[in-house]
Structure formats: C-alpha cells, structure tokens
Structure 1
C-alpha cells in the first residue's frame, strides 16, 4: 500500500488563495440574493452546481486533463460526502438570506473559520498555537462589532445560518483531509458532481421558468462557484486549515463594498472598526508566518 504525502506547505500562497476565494464567494452570494426574490434556493443551487460541472469539464477537456488520472479518486465516497456538505451549506445560505437580514446571516456564517480552527485540533491533529487562536477570536470579535447583531431579534430562523456555518466548516476540514489523497481538480470535480447530481434530482419539484434577462446571471453563479472553490481547495492544500480559514473574514470587506454599491447598504462607523480588527488579525497571521519560514 503506497503512502500518500501531504502537498508542500506554501502558507502565503494559501492565504492569497483564501482571500481570492472570499471575494468570489461574496460575488456569488450577492447574485443569489438578487435572484432569490424570484427563484427557489434549490433552483439557484442547481444552476450553481450544474454550470460549475459543465465549466469544469469543458476546461479540463480544453486543457487535455480530462483523463482517468484526474477523474479517479482514492476516496470517492468520502469526496462525494464532502460535496454534499457544500451543497448543504449552499442551500442553508440561500434559505437564510430569504428570511433573515443579511447582517444576521453574516455574523453567524463568520463563525465558520473559528469552528474550523477549533475542530482542526481533534479532527486533523493540527497544532494550533495560542497566538493563532487568539487572532481567530479577534477576527470574529471584529465581525461582531461590524454587524452589531440585534440580540433581541434572534429567532428560530437563525438555525439556518448556523447549519450553513457548520456544514461549511466541515467541508473545509474535509477538503484539507482529502488533499492528501487527490488533486485539486479531482476534488473540485467531485464537489460539482455531488451538488449537480443531487440538486438535479430535486429541482423539478421547485422549478420556476427562468426569465431571459436572468439566464446570464444563472450561468455566472456557476462560474463564480467553480472559481471560488478551486481557490478554496488550493488554499487548503497549501497551508494548514487553522491558518488560512480566518482569512475568510475578508468577506466582510467585499460584502460592505457590494452592499454599498448595489444594494444601498451604507456602512456604519462600527463596520470600519470591526473591519480594522479583522485586518489586524489577518496581518498578524501573515507576519507571524513570515517569521516562522
């Protein structure tokens, strides 16, 4: 039985990929929020994964990488389960933005990096130093300050973004685990296949005719989905989950900009204070990683 080694550690490359993934995620979620008033979350998820799969297969064919080596997985069922975790996170996300203010959805979702940092210790046997853990907590505190959730307005619907955060955290940990066994393209292919297959089986029960002016947006959701998760997989392959996951906090910056430009959400002073804490926490992790390598 051959021994599979982990990919070489490239912490700064991993951080850059996670920052890119964060920006792409916000773009995809913003499109889903815009379309969510007229279409079912299941239909949006179907478009996101089906287009993702078509784009990925086309790119692999053009690159000449649609080979048995790319298609075969050393852990096919585990990879399929990993894809279902992401599908679950997507459905929870699309359901959340329909029934809750976006700020409440984000504050719960941003607990995902902290969940990853904590679970990486028992599940992946990663060593998380006190300073790195403190930086993750600092970033989460910055998010709380920025969005200022209305504690008095909490309700049972918050279980939806909680489900999203937990599914996404487990997906990230599974991505890191299977990086030792499969290439990034293989992992991405299984992600698209699992989501595309299950959502295709479900979408006939939720179908609403797509308006001609929305077709391009449906396609774009899938394209952004493919790019964002390729970046996420590369981040997890390049550095430890507990290091790169806190950089998903940068979604707050993109969400603020997109909210201002497209949805008329004006950021408050607290938003800038919280974003500053997030930036300082991330900056500390980069500086600390430079000194260690």
Structure 2
C-alpha cells in the first residue's frame, strides 16, 4: 500500500500539466508540417510500448493486464480516446493552443451533464447551475471577434465531448476492471486503430522533425507516468482541480512560441468555464463525502 501524500500528489499533477503542455506544443508544430493522423499514429506506437512495458512489470504480467470481462467497453474507450487526440491536435493547428484549451476546459461540465443519462448518477441543481454557467462561458468564447471563430471552435468542443464520453466509459469500466487493465487497453487499442488509419497518410519526415517526434513520444510517456504516480499518492478529487493549470501553461507556450493572442472574450469565457468546472468538482466531492 503506497502512503498517501496530498502535497506530493499536487506537485506531481502540476508537473503533469507542464509536461502535457509541452507535448501539445510539439504536437502543434509537427501537425502543422505533417498529416495529423500520421503524427498521432507514431505517438501511439510509443504510448503502446510504454503501456506494455508497465504491464509486463506488474504482478501477473500482460495476461493479467489484458484480462477484462467487458472487452467491447474497453475497445470503445480506446477508440474514443484515439479519435479525441486526433481532433484535439487538429484544433491546435486550426485555432492554436490557447483557444483550443479554453474551449476544451468545458469537458468536466460535459462529464457532469452526461453522468445522469450514461451512468445513472444524480446531478443536483447546484451542479446544473454550474454547467449552465460554464456553457455561458463557452458562448462568450465563441462570439465573433474572439480568439476562436465559431465554426472552428466546434473542433475542440467535439474533442471535449469525446473526452467526456471517454471519461464516463472509464468510470463505467472501473466497476469491473482495474485501472491497470483499462490503461493497457487504452494504449493497445489506440495503437492498433491509429496504425490501421495512419499508415495510409505516411509522409517522409525531416531528420530534425524525427527529433521532435522522439521528444513528443517521451513527453507523452513521462506525462502518463507522472499521472499514474499522482493518482497513487493522492485522491483524485484533491488533485484534479490542478489539472486546469494546463490551460495556463499551454496558453503561455502559444503566446511565446506561436505568436498567439489572448482576446478579452477568450480570457473572460475561459475564466467562467474554469470557475464552473472547479465548482462542479468541489460539489461532486462534497456529495460523494456525504
């Protein structure tokens, strides 16, 4: 049993947001030069290798990691996440890091809104009010003149919906399977699916970009390792609010590396979305604690 340390868990989650923000910036660079499906495919190859290596070192090895009573649920999870990653990377290229993450920040609100019809959970009026406020923030972000044009902003919104459904399926799968089993299926299913699609869009890469691709794969594996450690040492409800720091770091990288700008409507809308999301997380934890 690993000792619980909330302060360490928070520090690890902050590190996770930094590493994943760097991964997003590299993804934007590579997807701006090469086909998105190819970039995500190579990224998934390394991710699957990392997942298999982690599973092989655990008690029971690969056989235990692959043992599930609900393979179709696990396959659906893996496919949803792979599709969400592709849509998210496309959004980085079309909208930029800041605007994409501002819209994507709505995914906890979508999780709360869909938890009733998908999982049969009860959502009280306070959380419904927070969900409504969050979508007011999304409307503010989508206003003409903001950093995200209305049609293009549907791309990260689709990614947020995909990730919300993936999160709900993960919670559903957790009723029967361990986190290690779900993690194994996430990586392997995604790698198989992306290979089947991505190989058709293969493009020769410049030597320097292979270096960036290697760094992308390393940041992905390192970020997931940090995330696993964070959830091992602290409760998810205690550290999850700090995941919103990824919006801050990604926006900063967008400003510094890609010349992006933060319009007043984007900042205001993102602030409302994040505040609503934090309230939803707090309220969910309070209801769970009784």
Cα deviation digits, residues 226-266 of structure 1 (max 9, x gap) = 4556738986xx668xx998765443222222223333435
Scaled by the length of structure 1, the TM-score of the pair is: 0.74
Q: 1:287 to 1:248 in 2, by over 3 A?
A: closer
Structure 1: how far apart are the matches of 2:131 and 2:239?
Answer: 10
Q: How much has 1:203 moved relative to structure 2?
A: 2.3
Q: How much has 1:211 moved relative to structure 2?
A: 2.3
Structure 2: how far apart are the matches of 1:232 and 1:109?
Answer: 22
Scaled by the length of structure 2, the TM-score of the pair is: 0.75
Structure 1: how far apart are the matches of 2:75 and 2:54?
Answer: 21
1:215 equivalenced with 2:213 (yes/no)? no
Q: How much has 1:80 moved relative to structure 2?
A: 1.0
1:58 aligns with one of 53, 56, 65: 53
Structure 2: how far apart are the matches of 1:180 and 1:22?
Answer: 28
My pick for the range that moved more, 129-138 or 152-161, is 152-161
Structure 1: how far apart are the matches of 2:88 and 2:112?
Answer: 21
- Pairwise mapping of residues 6-85 of structure 1 onto structure 2 (< 5 A)? 22-62=17-57, 66-85=61-80
Q: 1:276 to 1:91 in 2, by over 3 A?
A: closer
Structure 2: how far apart are the matches of 1:94 and 1:74?
Answer: 32
> Gaps spanning 5+ residues in structure 2: where?
none
Q: How much has 1:177 moved relative to structure 2?
A: 0.8
Structure 2: how far apart are the matches of 1:174 and 1:36?
Answer: 28
> Gaps spanning 5+ residues in structure 1: where?
1-9
Structure 1 match to 2:172: 177
Q: Give me the CA root mean square deviation.
A: 4.0
Q: How much has 1:224 moved relative to structure 2?
A: 3.7
In 1, are the aligned partners of 2:19 and 2:223 still within 8 Å (CA)?
Answer: yes
Structure 2: how far apart are the matches of 1:273 and 1:39?
Answer: 33
Structure 2 match to 1:129: 124
In 2, are the aligned partners of 1:112 and 1:168 still within 8 Å (CA)?
Answer: yes
Q: 1:124 to 1:247 in 2, by over 3 A?
A: farther
Q: How much has 1:140 moved relative to structure 2?
A: 5.3
Q: 1:117 to 1:260 in 2, by over 3 A?
A: same
1:150 aligns with one of 141, 144, 153: 144
In 1, are the aligned partners of 2:77 and 2:166 still within 8 Å (CA)?
Answer: yes
Structure 2: how far apart are the matches of 1:164 and 1:279?
Answer: 17
Structure 1: how far apart are the matches of 2:127 and 2:174?
Answer: 22
Q: 1:142 to 1:227 in 2, by over 3 A?
A: farther
In 2, are the aligned partners of 1:115 and 1:169 still within 8 Å (CA)?
Answer: yes
In 1, are the aligned partners of 2:110 and 2:161 still within 8 Å (CA)?
Answer: yes
Structure 2 match to 1:167: 162
Structure 2 match to 1:206: 201
1:116 equivalenced with 2:119 (yes/no)? no
